[in-house]
Amino acid sequence: MATMDDYLEVNRLNWDERAAVHAASAEYGFDRFVTDPGHLSDVVRFDRPLLGDVTGLTGIHLQCHIGTDTLSLARLGARMTGLDLSPVSLAQARRLATDAGAVVEYVEADTYSAPAALDGRTFDLVYTGVGALCWLPDIDRWAGVVDDLLEPGGRLFVREGHPMMWAVDETRTDGITLGYAYFETPEPFDFEESGTYVENDHEFVNTRQLSWNHGIGEILTALLSRGFEVTGFAEHRSVPWEALPGRMVRDGDLDEWRMVDEAERLPLSYTLQARKPVR
């Protein structure tokens, strides 16, 4: 079992190795950002109707990875800072911003250290995209970080994989079977993952990942207990990657993956919006 310090090192190694592979992939499509100044990531394009106008807002993107969503938010007019644990991811994110002619600041830190790494700066918008919260052991502590990073009245925007979807046993194709904890657990899931979610032929050596699930009630309670107002909560029948292989199909209209069968049984992702109180 990993200690709480080990999880940062284990996951950093994992993401560092994946960053260059992701940056070279068709799925992340760096070249489209460079050749088309109006291009947005699939995730931000999906989010856009709920996101509303972000022009002129200062924004912090937690766990920004290689910066495609961060750059997309900058293109929508926000003044963006991206933060991530993985220096190799941030190197790719900086390269993308430079090649795309955008001004985006990037900061290397783990999410729980973000307020200190940013010297106590506060923002109008905290954004976090798919596949972020599962790398954090304690969702209540995350909500404290969001609270610290936001201006009074500032907005939180979360687009995430649904904890119900993450509780499903992805190895079973004979129906929907729960294989993992839905609620947050003290101990992480300790997975060996030999690949990644983009097409590639890289032989990965850093295959270990330590992750956690967080129930919807736990996430909402963490925000409500700090006085946040939940301004939106939408559950979606699609997710940006093939989360349950063999049972999903890419939906060209959405640019996301949905279930082939039983689509009404399982929420695959969600968008949560909340506002920090003006105390």
Q: What are the residues binding ligand SAM (CB under 6 A)?
A: 8, 11, 15, 63, 65-66, 68-69, 84-86, 89, 110-111, 129-132, 135-136
Least gap, CB of 81 to ligand SAM (angstroms): 13
Nearer to ligand SAM, 122 or 206 (CB): 206
Q: Are strands 238-239 and 150-161 parallel, antiparallel or unpaired?
A: unpaired
| Nearer of residues 100 and 132 to ligand SAM, judged by Cβ | 132
Q: Which residues contact 3 (CB under 8 A, 6 or more apart)?
A: none
| Helix/strand/coil percent split, the chain, to 5 | 35, 25, 45
Nearest distance, CB of residue 223 and ligand SAM, angstroms: 19
CB of 113 to ligand SAM, least distance (A): 8
The b/e string for 73-111 (b: 16+ C-beta within 10 A; e otherwise) is: bbbbebbbbbbbbbebbbbbbbebbeebebebebbbebb
- In the complex with ligand SAM, which residue's Cβ is closer, 175 or 245? 245
Give the residue at shortest CB distance from ligand SAM.
131
Q: How far is the CB of 240 from ligand SAM (least distance, A)?
A: 7
Query: Look-up: residue for tokens 């929420």?
Result: 267
Residue 58 or 206: the one with the smaller Cβ distance to ligand SAM is 206
Cβ closest to ligand SAM, residue 209 vs residue 223 = 209
Cβ at position 28, least distance to ligand SAM in Å: 7
| Cα(22)–Cα(98) distance, integer angstroms | 18
The maximal CA–CA distance of the chain, rounded, in angstroms, is: 52
